[in-house]
């Protein structure tokens, strides 16, 4: 099979193995893809293992192969979950082909994974490939591992998870406290709930998702924790006013949810506003991808500005606007299905 390559302006780089297009790599078997990653990224893979060793992480044999296999696996992602013969819908990006177009060359993906930043450890740098390496070491789902490494050492995986947890715990707690203070009960408890859910979803033997390495692990857990904090506030029937105080949901000002959505002009045309807000919450919880739902909940239910959301989630304000735009595209037909024929 002949592989097409991206043709960069520099003639000397045209023969680089990393110039192969993502769509062509996806046509190859997982084993061949992993071998390609191992060959073309050998220097970076070795550097990642060295950095993890300096951090005190115990690196098992064949870890370079396991990490290359994880990158190759993540291009296509885990298989869909099938219930009663029907594949469950995917929520959010679960594979590299959800992040990058098919015509992207492998060099684009590799550049993202290997870009360095200054880590919290003074004098050390880190990369997203390092984060992916830590995730692979936390995994207890053996069938996702490189063939010769599939007998996962659960005790060793638990030790790496403890390392990741201790290193990032304060950051997650601090993020919850910064955004919500004590309004959602204990930030420490919320953070621990988030870590429990992330472990179950990504690293347990029953995991259904695999960490892609497109963000830091702490960022993923922070987002989960913020979502949990919002859920706690909802469970108490509370909302957050512009001044930051907590009020009762029955007294919530219309502007905090309904006006920001611009869903109707005359509330007498539709069912009571409280029922509409309940449907909005249902849509956020069950219909939106994780990050879209988190942004929508913070803006529409927590009445936070785009700037505040961007600062909390470490994304740009245009990204917040884009998430809200996509969320509205899902929200309108969902509400229409439940009897709310909204203006465009």
| Rounded percentage of the chain residues whose pLDDT exceeds 70 | 74
Q: Tens of pLDDT along 102-156?
A: 899 999 999 999 999 876 666 668 999 999 999 999 999 998 999 998 889 999 9
Give the pLDDT confidence score for residue 257 in this predicted structure.
47
Give the pLDDT confidence score for residue 146 in this predicted structure.
94
Q: Residue 311: which domain range?
A: 237-337
CA distance 279 to 16: 52
What is the C-alpha radius of gyration for the chain, rounded to an integer number of angstroms? 22
Same domain for 248 and 225:
no
Same domain for 183 and 272:
no
pLDDT at 4 over 80: no
| Residue 253 in domain | yes
Query: Both tokens of residue 309?
Result: 């959301």
- Total number of domains constituting the chain: 2
Same domain for 200 and 287:
no
The answer to whether residues 240 and 246 touch, using CB atoms and an 8 Å cutoff, is yes
Same domain for 210 and 72:
yes
Q: Tens of pLDDT along 205-239?
A: 999 899 999 999 999 999 889 888 887 877 765 44
Residues contacting residue 73 through CB under 8 Å, at least 6 positions apart = 30, 34, 144, 210
pTM of structure:
0.68
Give the pLDDT confidence score for residue 308 in this predicted structure.
86
Same domain for 115 and 205:
yes
Same domain for 301 and 154:
no
Phi (first) and psi of residue 247, to 5 degrees:
-125, 180
| Residue 1 in domain | no
Angle at 317 between CA 316 and CA 323, to 5 degrees: 95
Same domain for 161 and 294:
no
Angle at 63 between CA 1 and CA 108, to 5 degrees: 50
Q: Nearest CA to 145 among 154, 153, 136?
A: 136
Give the pLDDT confidence score for residue 269 in this predicted structure.
38
| Residue 5 in domain | no
pLDDT at 181 over 90: no
| Segment among 49-63, 211-225, 248-262 with least mean pLDDT | 248-262
| Residue 342 in domain | no
Q: Tens of pLDDT along 280-297?
A: 888 887 788 888 888 888
Same domain for 209 and 290:
no
Which residue has tokens 């990224």? 41
| Residue 2 in domain | no
The answer to whether residues 71 and 38 touch, using CB atoms and an 8 Å cutoff, is no
User: Predicted confidence band at 271 (pLDDT cuts at 50, 70, 90)?
Assistant: very low
More confident residue, 337 or 171: 171
Average pLDDT score, the chain: 80
């Amino acid at each position: 099979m002949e592989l097409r390559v991206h043709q960069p302006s520099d003639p000397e780089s045209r023969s680089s193995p990393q110039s192969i297009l993502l769509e062509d790599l996806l046509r190859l078997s997982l084993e061949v893809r992993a071998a390609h990653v191992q060959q073309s990224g050998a220097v970076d893979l070795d550097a990642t293992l060295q950095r993890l060793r300096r951090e005190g992480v115990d690196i098992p044999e064949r870890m370079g192969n396991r990490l290359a296999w994880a990158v190759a696996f993540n291009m296509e992602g885990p298989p869909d979950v099938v219930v009663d013969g029907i594949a469950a819908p995917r929520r959010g990006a679960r594979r590299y082909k959800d992040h990058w177009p098919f015509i992207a060359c492998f060099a684009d993906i590799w550049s993202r994974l290997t870009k360095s930043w200054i880590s919290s450890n003074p004098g050390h740098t880190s990369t997203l490939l390092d984060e992916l390496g830590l995730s692979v070491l936390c995994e207890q789902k053996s069938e996702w591992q490189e063939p010769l490494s599939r007998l996962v050492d659960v005790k060793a995986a638990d030790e790496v998870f403890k390392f990741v947890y201790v290193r990032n715990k304060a950051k997650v707690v601090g993020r919850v406290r910064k955004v919500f203070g004590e309004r959602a009960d204990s930030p420490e408890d919320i953070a621990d709930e988030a870590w429990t859910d992330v472990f179950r979803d990504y690293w347990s033997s029953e995991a259904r998702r695999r960490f892609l390495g497109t963000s830091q692990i702490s960022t993923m857990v922070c987002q989960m924790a913020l979502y949990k904090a919002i859920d706690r506030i909802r469970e108490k029937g509370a909302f957050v006013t512009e001044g930051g105080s907590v009020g009762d949901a029955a007294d919530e000002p219309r502007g905090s949810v309904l006006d920001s959505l611009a869903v109707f002009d005359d509330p007498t045309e539709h069912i009571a506003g409280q029922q509409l807000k309940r449907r909005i919450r249902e849509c956020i919880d069950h219909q939106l991808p994780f990050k879209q739902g988190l942004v929508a909940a913070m803006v529409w239910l927590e009445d936070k500005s785009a700037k505040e959301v961007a600062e909390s989630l470490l994304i740009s304000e245009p990204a917040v606007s884009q998430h809200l735009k996509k969320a509205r595209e899902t929200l309108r037909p969902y509400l229409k299905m439940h009897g709310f024929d909204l203006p465009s």
